[in-house]
Structure 1
Amino acid sequence: MELLFLGTAASEGFPNPFCSCENCQKAREEGKKSIRLRSSLLIDNEILIDFGPDILSSVNRFGMELSDIKHILITHGHSDHLFFKNFEYRNPIFSGTFDLLPHIDLIVPDRLGAVIKEKVDLPKISLMSVTPFVSLHLNGYIVYTLKAKHTPGYDETPLNYIVEKDGVKMLYGVDSGKFLAESIEYIKNEIKYLDIVILDATMGFNKKYEFHMGYEEVLETKEILQKEGIIDDKSKIVVTHFSHLHNPEHTELEKIYDKHNIIAAFDGLKIKK
């Protein structure tokens, strides 16, 4: 399994173009890994998790395309994770090679499916509205849904996803506060072990918020997963979805999280397992 982080910022980007706070200024000065687009993850060039407003910039930034995508997983309906206009750019009116594109499974949280149907046309896309704690078999992958602790965009139930391929299991725990007890129990009983854990680190170091994690919550979650036997020293732990309001530039983030054997993600980070 190969993961590519297309974006690693919270909803306002990092730096925020309308902000001159210390974190934004230092990010601009440092450049490179400190310049972050809104969060999205690509798996094996086949599965895309979240489809926000920066997806076009992300793929152009890395000199790639999304023509081979077969599955799109949406965590929730907030606009930094689901930008409806993106679907139009895949349609025949904009894509000169639409006939060559594969059919896509679009997997979304329950009530969000009806909203998408009202807003966009979905040629060559099968829309699947799912609830938490189900498993889906998709062309060699197994996708498991978890209930995230987050606010909905359209009265849907926000989801986190576990993706499994050839025995490798990856948890994408973005956007979410501390994992619900029922989600931990589901992972422990149904998934058993996680090779890769990607956690929300939005709130960083100076503020608490129920529906996002920060530094302390990340460490607490890692400890809980270790105690439950869900992860061990071989598991890769990654943090992403950084807000400029609560997190420093990338070199500082690396120093802080490296002490705990946690990887601070950046746009373009690749992880293979």
Structure 2
Amino acid sequence: MEILFLGTAASEGYPNPFCSCENCQKAREEGKKSIRLRSSVLIDDNLLIDFGPDIVASANRFGKDLTKVKHILITHGHSDHLFIKNLDYRNPVFSGTFDQLDHVDLIVPNKLGSIIKERTELHKISLMSVEPFITLHINGYIVYTLKANHTSEYGETPLNFLIEKDNDWLLYGVDTGIFLPETIEFIKEKLNGKIINKVILDATMGINKKYQFHMDFEEVISTKDFFEKMGIIDNNSKVIATHFSHLHNPIHSELEKLYSTKGIITAFDGLKIK
């Protein structure tokens, strides 16, 4: 699996255009990797995780044609992860090549499907509302839905994902606090002794800022260490931190120094992981 980070910021972007704090000012000065759009990843050009308000900007920024996307996985209904209006841009009114578009599977947490149906028409989209801890087989991928330790917008159960393709395993753990015991147990069961090759972790809260439903720097490190002890990952596994808030995280160059000492990759918009 090839993973492209389309966005790596928390809800307000980084820098926040309405903020002149030290981190935002430094990010504007440093530019490049310190300029972050809202969080989303694209896998193999055909599987998209989260569909927030920056998806048009990020796709254009990296020259990506999202007509190839066949599956969209939504973690939860917060607006930085699901901007429902995006779905309209696939419709005949906006797409001049609608007839050529592939059918898309839109997989969302329970209770979120009914909200989407109320707010837009779904053309060439199959909507599936799912519970945590189920297994989906989609176009060569096996997707295991995980229960995230996070809050909801519409009463849905927020999700993370364990994805396998051709014995390549990815754990997507963004917008979650410390992993729930039942989630760890489910991951161990599905791995059945195998190792996760790539782990993407929520790092919203940054330096010395605790919050139950996101992780900070220390919790990212402790999660990596715990996964190693549990045999979920090994020394060859890539662990990547993402979803940074400007309120709690320094600019990219400083973050990179911090995380690299712990063997963790600091994500940036445009980062590709194979």
TM (norm. structure 1) is 0.99
The secondary structure found in structure 2 opposite 1:67 is helix
Any idea what the Cα deviations from partners look like across 1:203-255, whole Å, max 9, x if unmatched? 00031100000101101111111111000001000000000000000000000
The secondary structure found in structure 1 opposite 2:67 is coil
2:21 alignment partner in structure 1: 21
Spell out the pairing of 1:68-79 with structure 2 (5 A cutoff): 68-79=68-79
**1:239 equivalent among 223, 241, 244:** 241
Q: Which runs of 5+ in 1 are unaligned?
A: none
The answer to whether structure 1 residue 2 and structure 2 residue 2 are counterparts is yes
Q: CA deviation at 1:139?
A: 0.8
Spell out the pairing of 1:105-124 with structure 2 (5 A cutoff): 105-124=105-124
1:261 alignment partner in structure 2: 263
1:187 alignment partner in structure 2: 187
CA distance in 1, matches of 2:64, 2:204: 27
1:215 alignment partner in structure 2: 217
Letter in 2 for 1:268: G
The secondary structure found in structure 1 opposite 2:28 is helix
The secondary structure found in structure 2 opposite 1:244 is coil
Contact 2:208 2:217 in 1 (8 A): no
The answer to whether structure 1 residue 99 and structure 2 residue 95 are counterparts is no
Any idea what the Cα deviations from partners look like across 1:81-129, whole Å, max 9, x if unmatched? 0001100111010000011010000000011111111111111000011
Count of paired positions: 272
CA distance in 1, matches of 2:245, 2:217: 12
Runs of 4+ off more than 2 Å:
none
Contact 2:239 2:264 in 1 (8 A): yes
The secondary structure found in structure 2 opposite 1:170 is strand
The answer to whether structure 1 residue 44 and structure 2 residue 37 are counterparts is no
CA distance in 2, matches of 1:64, 1:138: 22
RMSD: 0.6
The secondary structure found in structure 2 opposite 1:256 is helix
Spell out the pairing of 1:159-174 with structure 2 (5 A cutoff): 159-174=159-174
1:250 alignment partner in structure 2: 252
CA distance in 1, matches of 2:257, 2:110: 40
Letter in 2 for 1:79: S
Contact 2:148 2:179 in 1 (8 A): yes
CA distance in 2, matches of 1:190, 1:67: 32
TM (norm. structure 2) is 0.98
Letter in 2 for 1:60: N
CA distance in 1, matches of 2:267, 2:46: 20
The answer to whether structure 1 residue 67 and structure 2 residue 39 are counterparts is no
Contact 2:12 2:38 in 1 (8 A): yes
CA distance in 1, matches of 2:64, 2:108: 25
CA distance in 1, matches of 2:28, 2:208: 21
